[in-house]
Amino acid sequence: MKKDLGVIQAIYPMPVLMVAAYDENQKVNVMNVAWGQICDYDKLILFIGEGKKTLKNILTSKAFTVALADEKHMDVADFFGMSSGNKIEDKFERTGYHAIKSDKVNAPIIEEFPLVIECELLEYLDQENISGVIGKIINVKADEEVLNEKGKVDPEKLQVLMFDQFTNGYYLTGKRVGQAWSEGKELLTK
């Protein structure tokens, strides 16, 4: 029998996304966003609350990058989620991480994270119950060590972090357990 748990954010897993943008002076700001996903073939959506420094920067620069955090960089990813660019002027600099300007969009690429999605701002959602940005994916860059022999991203090598809102834990992805659009084929013939 199922037990009532009340209102909780019961979607699992949630990505650990490092969203980076420049401010009006080309200063790097990065935030940790768990509420984001692909929303079309070449688009993603990030639900970012009002008042966030990174949201202001995205609206100013009209571009951003989204990096997938991995276990190796969990401490910095967590710091980006605990700290505010509105309160800590040297937030990015404190990490000792390195940023380069994307050659595709007006946004920084954080070199330490193994995979980055370069996006242009398409739309800003500012409704009574939701705030966020929709980005057009212009390009994806990945470190060679997370690619397979065919040049595709290998999730087992990528080892990205997932966030759970049940206990506020971080978990790793990686173990392949099946093939999409294949495991359920037998049920199509019933």
pLDDT of residue 96: 97
Burial class (CB in 10 A: 0-12, 13-18, 19+), 29: buried
3 part of a folded domain: no
CA–CA distance, 16 with 188 (Å, rounded to integer): 35
Average pLDDT, the chain: 94
Would you say residue 7 lies in a domain?
Answer: no
The answer to whether position 9 is within a domain reads no
CA distance 52 to 45: 16
Contact 38, 183 (CB under 8 A): no
Cβ(146)–Cβ(158) below 8 Å: yes
Provide the pLDDT for residue 15: 92
Mean pLDDT of 79-100: 94
3-state secondary structure (DSSP) of residue 165: coil
CATH number of the domain residue 126 falls in: 2.30.110.10
Q: What is the pLDDT of residues 11-45, one digit of tens each?
A: 888 999 999 999 999 999 999 999 999 999 999 99
pLDDT at 86 over 90: no
> Alpha-carbon distance 65 to 119, whole Å?
6
pLDDT at residue number 114: 97
133, pLDDT greater than 90: yes
How many domains does one find in the chain? 1
Predicted local distance difference test score (pLDDT) of residue 11: 87
Give a yes or no: residue 2 inside a domain: no
Give yes or no for a contact between 147 and 153, defined as CB atoms under 8 angstroms apart. yes
What pLDDT digit, counting tens, does each position of 167-186 carry? 999 999 878 889 998 999 88
Q: What is the DSSP letter of 61?
A: H
Residues of the domain holding 32: 14-188
**Residue from 46, 49, 18 nearest 32 by CA:** 18
